[in-house]
Amino acid sequence: MTTKMSEARGKTILGIDPGLARMGYGVVVQTGNRMKAGEYGTLTTEAHAPLEQRLVVLFEKLNKVLKKTKPDVVAMEELFFSRNVKTAIAVGQARGVALLACGMAGVAVYEYRPVEIKQAVTGHGGADKDQVQKMVKLLLGLEEIPKPDDTADALAVAITHTQCSGTQLSEAIKKLSRNSVETRFLKR
């Protein structure tokens, strides 16, 4: 009985684009094959505040989002290797805070690599940021592209989960992106 009620109201997916200075979030509600945007925005921290305080701020703000939106699942962008080690570590710490908040809220987290997100949203794993943002606007019927970029990226992650979770397409995208990464690595 709960399943039927859940299907009637749709499945709520909270997408998260992790970051220390800006953490994008976006809710997509999926009912059957239809998607619509719920609440979305960006959580920010003060650049000159101590790291531990910034992480606490992100944790508290994300907890408020989780309580308000009550997602069925969370979709998060997986950490990718960055040339800037300091940035990669900061993003990793913010991801850890997001994972902790979701874990404490009892919400399952699904992770997607950037190439998987591009593939699911645009149909092309090599799409650029502008193409992804335009498709987010189109797929969700928004009047304009959500700003800043972190917000649009979070909605893209949520869309990816609606398109891929539990489907053969999901496994195909994972295989395609894995092969793509391995091919690029081997060509070096």
Band of residue 3 on the pLDDT scale cut at 50, 70, 90: very low
pLDDT at 21: 95
Band of residue 5 on the pLDDT scale cut at 50, 70, 90: very low
Q: Assess whether 78 carries a catalytic annotation.
A: no
Strand order in the sheet with 108-112: 34-44, 22-31, 11-17, 73-77, 108-112
Catalytic residue, candidates 17, 39, 52, 78: 17
Catalytic residue, candidates 150, 153, 171, 182: 150
Catalytic residue, candidates 7, 77, 130, 171: 77
Q: Using H for helix, E for strand and C for coil, what is the string for the chain?
A: CHHHHHHHHCEEEEEEECCCCEEEEEEEEEECCEEEEEEEEEEECCCCCCHHHHHHHHHHHHHHHHHHHCCCEEEEECCCCCCCHHHHHHHHHHHHHHHHHHHHHCCEEEEECHHHHHHHHHCCCCCCHHHHHHHHHHHHCCCCCCCCHHHHHHHHHHHHHHHHCCCHHHHHHHHHHHHHHHHHHHHC
- Indicate yes or no: pTM above 0.85: no
Structure tokens given for 121: 């949203």
Q: Assess whether 153 carries a catalytic annotation.
A: no
Q: Assess whether 60 carries a catalytic annotation.
A: no
pLDDT at 99: 95
Query: Which residue type, as a one-letter code, is found at position 92?
Result: G
Question: In this predicted model, what pLDDT tens digit does every residue of 6-63 receive, in sequence order?
Answer: 445 789 999 999 999 999 999 999 998 899 999 999 999 999 999 999 999 999 999 9
Q: Please give the CATH number for the structural domain made up of 2-187.
A: 3.30.420.10
Exposure class string for 47-65: b at 16+ Cβ within 10 A, else e: eeeeeeebbebbbebbeeb
168 has a pLDDT exceeding 50: no
The span from the CA of 139 to the CA of 133, in Å, is 10
> Domains of the chain: which residue ranges?
2-187
